[in-house]
A and B are shown apart, each in its own frame.
Chain A
């Protein structure tokens, strides 16, 4: 049974928080993949430094124990070691900084014009999504609210505190521009699998560019304290194949014209 369970878990990507999760969720965008790769780069140097420091510490404690070595040393200078212990950390810092800055600046570069703009507006305590690329007048073509599904209404297999009634449907492998803002207090729109966390500030439009590389359902939660139900305003992004996107959006249009 355990073997079967492990087999199953390895073929389904982790796009939501898991109990006792230690590492990152699986990457769904190039940004997140870059963040994970940077983490691996830094972790390598981190282990090197950790082992080195622990070794020196243990060695010092062992050899200079007051019982074995009663007379303390009176060394105050050591030019060679001082030069080395300045140069080596600088070199290590440089090795860490290069991939870090490369990722940071590449995240800001918008090379390709986005194909779609989606507005994510935070409210207390739900989200509104607007897809306004297609309307011919000032009324939105597609606006809907996204509320968390309360625990009593969950179906078997759904995640507690993470499911919503209306998901954000996006086409996979398409450059998206997400504009994040708020209608009342600051919120934050975060989807860890996509490497996105963007504050929703009232009166300000924050833009993020993402490219979701694989189809799937990605979960996230509000990441800026916004009142009593801050823990109960999740985000669910559903990436569908590009050819299905049109029909999915139209399907949501039809019930919405009755409600909106």
Chain B
């Protein structure tokens, strides 16, 4: 039983100041995967981006994108 969960989440991004955060979630996902291709799969620097996209993006979207990446049909600049 945790005593105090640290309350931290993806910060407000000035690139996405409006209500529509769809692009924010997508951008964070892409940033994470670009970071892992640049720095390696096990790099801890990329974990920050992973936390951000997991906080913002619904699980179903992440699963769908993971499948698309595996099949090579991901529609984004990875």
Q: Decide: A203 near B56, CB < 8 A? Known: A133-B51, A138-B63, A246-B3.
A: no
Within 8 A of B (CB), among A165-195: 171, 174, 177, 179, 181, 183
A35 within 8 A of B: no
A256 within 8 A of B: no
Chain B interface residue bracket vs A: 20 to 34
Q: Decide: A247 near B9, CB < 8 A? Known: A205-B20, A208-B19.
A: no
A79 within 8 A of B: no
**Closest B residue by C-beta to A121:** B58
B59 within 8 A of A: yes
Point out the residues of chain B lying under 8 angstroms from A140, CB to CB: 54, 59
Q: Which of A4-12, A94-102, A108-116, A224-232 sits within the interface?
A: A108-116
Point out the residues of chain B lying under 8 angstroms from A198, CB to CB: 19
The interface bits of chain B over 1-39 (1 if a CB of A lies within 8 angstroms of the residue's CB, else 0) are 111110111111000011111101100000000000000
Chain A interface residue bracket vs B: 35 or more
Task: Please state if B66 and A116 are interface contacts (CB–CB under 8 Å).
Answer: no
A206 within 8 A of B: yes
Closest beta carbon of chain A to B75's beta carbon, Å: 13
Q: Decide: A138 near B62, CB < 8 A? Known: A205-B56, A243-B4.
A: yes
Within 8 A of B (CB), among A117-136: 117, 119, 121, 130, 132-135
B42 within 8 A of A: no
A250 within 8 A of B: yes
Task: Please state if A130 and B58 are interface contacts (CB–CB under 8 Å).
Answer: yes
Interface of B is mostly: loop
Point out the residues of chain A lying under 8 angstroms from B18, CB to CB: 108
Task: Please state if B59 and A177 are interface contacts (CB–CB under 8 Å).
Answer: no
Instruction: Tell me the total A-B contact number using a CB cutoff of 8 A.
Output: 89
Task: Please state if A246 and B2 are interface contacts (CB–CB under 8 Å).
Answer: yes
Point out the residues of chain A lying under 8 angstroms from B20, CB to CB: 204-207
Task: Please state if A171 and B22 are interface contacts (CB–CB under 8 Å).
Answer: no
Point out the residues of chain A lying under 8 angstroms from B60, CB to CB: 121, 183
**Closest B residue by C-beta to A248:** B5
Most interface-central of B11, B51, B54 (chain A CB within 10 A): B54
Give which listed residue, A132, A171, A181, contacts B7 with CB less than 8 A. A171
Most interface-central of A134, A198, A243 (chain B CB within 10 A): A134
B55 within 8 A of A: yes
Q: Decide: A117 near B58, CB < 8 A? Known: A138-B63, A206-B19, A246-B3.
A: no
A249 within 8 A of B: yes
Task: Please state if A181 and B3 are interface contacts (CB–CB under 8 Å).
Answer: no
Point out the residues of chain A lying under 8 angstroms from B7, CB to CB: 115-116, 133, 171, 174, 242, 245
Show 9 A/B contacts (Cβ-Cβ < 8 Å), sorted by A: A117-B9, A130-B59, A133-B8, A138-B54, A139-B59, A179-B56, A203-B22, A204-B20, A250-B1
Given contacts A117-B56, A139-B59, 10 further A-B contacts (CB under 8 A): A117-B10, A133-B55, A177-B9, A179-B56, A205-B25, A205-B56, A205-B58, A242-B7, A246-B4, A250-B5
